[in-house]
């Protein structure tokens, strides 16, 4: 498959200028985009990772044409749009991303699209949810690199903010469907409030000394403070390479010193190192915590952001010594009105 390297502004497979190829791809896309909303009276919305796509779906429902670009199970931090993705971005009326530098390649394509399609709008949810004073820098996202941890959506309170920001932007661009977007947002935020309260109750069942997270990829920085938990380490270095033997040895010593009962792997990254650490430290390994891949298949009622969080809580809280009975009555299915 032909892929672009946006950072180098050249095609990986040849010496053709990225700017030239991008402009050729975007010219027809821009023409189509300028006419599409007026003719079809339906917003073309493009999103990035699947949890954000699902949040947007629950607000926009059937009144928007929604396309999520980042495939599930793909590392969102290194994802770069392929030519077909660039065309989709060029046809969009609205692009919604997490922000906080997570989707820089997508953002560059949108900015390039503005030259031929000045009507395209970009909503960066994270940048409008927290200020730089609230940014968290940590193991996988050190402060000296300048990019904060972007995984805001794993805190359901921030997911509520994402939903409201989406509602406001859709109403701004499509005021004829104000009542529809407002109704959908109210229903969805009611569900997210139940999720938040259920997680608060469930995490409180974990013995206080065991409310500690060591994960492969550090996705839980904004989740942990909300629920009185602590992220004490992450396996993956900030450059997304594998950890050195010295890094592994230090983590094993830390796990033993902290009496951590479990270590959590990722659905995206290899479990080889995590398995080694768990074996040598003598702790349970949980094979996956999902941060941007939804469970089940696309037809399953739990193939949603809420479904992902419910599955994560079962996989996280039970191995740490708690129970998830407070979450048992929460329906993970989408709430938007057909």
Q: Of 8-12, 194-198, 271-275, 289-293, which one has max mean pLDDT?
A: 194-198
The pLDDT confidence band at residue 237, using thresholds 50, 70 and 90, is low
Distance CA 222, CA 315 (A): 18
Write the class of the CATH domain 201-327: alpha beta
For residues 195-209, average pLDDT: 97
pLDDT tens readout for residues 296-335:
999 999 999 999 999 999 999 999 999 999 999 999 999 9
Residue 1 has pLDDT above 70, yes or no: no
> Please, what is the Cα angle at 198 between 188 and 221, to 5 degrees?
85
pLDDT above 90: percentage of residues in the chain: 59
Write the class of the CATH domain 4-192: alpha beta
Residue 38 has pLDDT above 70, yes or no: no
Distance CA 100, CA 187 (A): 27
Helix (H) or strand (E) holding 263: strand 262-266
Annotated domain spans of the chain = 4-192, 201-327
- Asked whether the beta carbons of 126 and 100 are under 8 A apart, the reply is yes
The pLDDT confidence band at residue 13, using thresholds 50, 70 and 90, is very low
Residue 16 has pLDDT above 70, yes or no: no
- Asked whether the beta carbons of 236 and 218 are under 8 A apart, the reply is yes
Residue 148 has pLDDT above 60, yes or no: yes
DSSP one-letter code for 97:
E
């Amino acid at each position: 498959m032909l892929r672009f390297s946006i950072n180098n502004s050249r095609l990986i497979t040849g010496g053709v200028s990225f700017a030239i190829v991008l402009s050729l791809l975007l010219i027809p896309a821009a023409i189509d985009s300028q006419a599409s909303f007026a003719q079809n009276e339906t917003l073309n919305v493009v999103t990035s990772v699947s949890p954000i796509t699902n949040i947007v779906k629950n607000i926009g429902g059937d009144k928007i044409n929604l396309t999520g670009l980042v495939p599930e199970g793909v590392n969102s931090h290194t994802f770069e749009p392929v030519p077909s993705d660039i065309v989709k971005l060029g046809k969009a009326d609205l692009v919604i991303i997490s922000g906080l530098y997570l989707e820089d390649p997508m953002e560059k394509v949108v900015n390039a699209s503005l030259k031929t399609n000045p009507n395209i709008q970009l909503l960066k949810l994270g940048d409008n949810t927290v200020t730089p004073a609230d940014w968290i820098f940590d193991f996988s996202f050190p402060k000296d690199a300048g990019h904060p941890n972007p995984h805001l959506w794993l805190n359901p309170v921030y997911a509520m903010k994402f939903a409201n920001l989406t509602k406001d932007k859709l109403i701004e661009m499509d005021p004829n469907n104000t009542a529809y977007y407002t109704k959908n947002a109210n229903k969805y935020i009611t569900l997210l409030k139940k999720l938040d309260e259920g997680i608060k109750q469930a995490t409180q069942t974990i013995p206080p000394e065991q409310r500690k997270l060591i994960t492969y990829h550090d996705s839980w920085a904004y989740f942990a403070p909300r629920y009185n938990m602590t992220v004490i380490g992450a396996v993956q270095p900030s450059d997304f390479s594998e950890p050195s033997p010295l890094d592994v040895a230090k983590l094993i010593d830390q796990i033993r010193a902290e009496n951590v009962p479990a270590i959590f792997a990722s659905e995206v990254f290899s479990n080889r190192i995590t398995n080694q650490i768990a074996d040598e430290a003598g702790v349970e390994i949980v094979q996956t915590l999902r941060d941007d891949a939804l469970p089940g298949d696309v037809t399953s009622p739990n193939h949603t952001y809420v479904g992902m969080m419910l599955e994560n809580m079962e996989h996280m809280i039970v191995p740490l010594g708690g129970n998830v009975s407070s979450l048992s009555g929460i329906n993970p299915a989408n709430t938007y009105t057909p």
